A and B are shown apart, each in its own frame.
Chain A
Amino acid sequence: MSGADIIFYMLAGLILGCGLLAVTTRHIFRAAIFLLFSLIGVAGMYFWMQYEFIAAVQIIVYVGGITVLIIFSIFLTQQTGEKLPEQKIGRQLFAGLAAFCGFALIMLQVARHHFVGTKNASTEPSIENIGNQMLGVEKGGYALPFEVVSILLLAALIGCIVIAVHNKIQKS
């Protein structure tokens, strides 16, 4: 077992263990912190696969952005320190059963399927290649989806402002 394998299994344990704790713990703040570590584990997995750009984006957007946003919203909406109410045992049981059955089904299909990889020479996922293809307008370029996502982000920004401002007018 080489060092890379050991790192892989440690990252897998980090992702799954922290993910499981994030959905089962009854302290909401701890759930956010466990989510943070699970997302860091996913970023580490991207590093392990040598997709450094995606790993950097994952850390910046998810770990630095979304998790901090979630923690802020917990502070704004929740009495921290207060535990979440206890779940019904029947609901937990059936949710666990449904999740396990789905997992078993998918894993059976994956184990039976034989994946055939390409024989072509691999493209380096370097910043240069990403940038050229991201803003390319020829076949295989992603300039149009890039613009559409920009519009979507603008719309989300305006939507957030509208939701927040509307409430203030209503109150005064």
Chain B
Amino acid sequence: MQPGLYHILFISTALFFIGVYGFFTRRNLITMLMSIELILNSVNLNFIAFNKYLWAHKLDGMFFTIFIIAIAAAEAAVAIAIIINLSRNFQSIDVEGTDEMKY
């Protein structure tokens, strides 16, 4: 069977929910960040697939992908700065150990 839009949508949906599964089960901030990267990648794949197969006369999906990649880079940098700061202050990057501002 010729791979087309539906195959790529299958892959991106599966990748999205793999990321969601990781986000639910992991309790370590770095691994949760990795799950978020997987989710963002599935969204990018979706944008590119729709752009290629449905709106090939425009490039808008591609620009959305470029902007998402830029924002994901900024997000990862800030998140890792926060994680390193957290591990200095708490000696742990477990989400259940960092409840300083909870009460």
A interface residues, Cβ below 8 angstroms from B: 4-5, 8-9, 12, 15-16, 19-20, 22-24, 28, 31-32, 35, 38-39, 42, 45-46, 49-51, 53-54, 57-58, 61-62, 65-66, 69-70, 72-74, 76-78, 84-85, 87, 91-92, 94-96, 98-100, 102-103, 106-107, 110-111, 115-118, 120-123, 125, 129-130, 133-134, 140, 142, 145, 149, 152-153, 155-157, 159-160, 163-164, 166-167
Q: How many angstroms from the CA of A69 to the CA of B17 in the assembled complex?
A: 24
Q: How many angstroms from the CA of A8 to the CA of B49 in the assembled complex?
A: 13
Do A91 and B48 contact each other (CB < 8 Å), given the known contacts A35-B38, A69-B77, A153-B70?
Answer: no
B6 interface neighbour in A28, A58, A65, A111, Cβ under 8 Å: A111
Establish whether residues A42 and B2, one from each chain, have CB atoms under 8 Å apart when the complex forms: no
Establish whether residues A31 and B31, one from each chain, have CB atoms under 8 Å apart when the complex forms: yes
Tell me the nearest residue of chain A to B5, going by C-beta: A115
**Residues of chain A within 8 A of B74, CB atoms compared:** 152-153, 155-156
Q: How many angstroms from the CA of A134 to the CA of B65 in the assembled complex?
A: 12
Q: How far is the CB of A91 from chain B (nearest CB, A)?
A: 6
Do A23 and B19 contact each other (CB < 8 Å), given the known contacts A42-B45, A167-B85?
Answer: yes
Establish whether residues A66 and B37, one from each chain, have CB atoms under 8 Å apart when the complex forms: yes
**27 A–B contact pairs at CB < 8 A?**
A15-B11, A15-B15, A16-B11, A16-B18, A22-B34, A24-B22, A45-B8, A54-B62, A61-B72, A62-B37, A62-B69, A66-B76, A73-B83, A74-B30, A77-B83, A78-B93, A85-B27, A87-B27, A92-B25, A95-B25, A99-B18, A99-B21, A110-B10, A116-B54, A125-B62, A145-B63, A167-B88
Establish whether residues A77 and B34, one from each chain, have CB atoms under 8 Å apart when the complex forms: no
Interface flags for B64-103 (1: CB within 8 Å of A; 0: not) read 0111011111111110111111011100010000000000
Establish whether residues B53 and A115, one from each chain, have CB atoms under 8 Å apart when the complex forms: yes
B interface residues, Cβ below 8 angstroms from A: 1-3, 5-11, 13-15, 17-22, 24-28, 30-31, 33-35, 37-38, 41, 44-45, 48-49, 52-60, 62-63, 65-67, 69-78, 80-85, 87-89, 93
Q: How many angstroms from the CA of A91 to the CA of B76 in the assembled complex?
A: 26
Q: How many angstroms from the CA of A30 to the CA of B80 in the assembled complex?
A: 18
Q: How far is the CB of B48 from chain A (nearest CB, A)?
A: 6
A70 interface neighbour in B7, B30, B45, B58, Cβ under 8 Å: B30
B3 interface neighbour in A8, A50, A65, A77, Cβ under 8 Å: A8
Q: How many angstroms from the CA of A145 to the CA of B8 in the assembled complex?
A: 27
Establish whether residues B30 and A118, one from each chain, have CB atoms under 8 Å apart when the complex forms: no
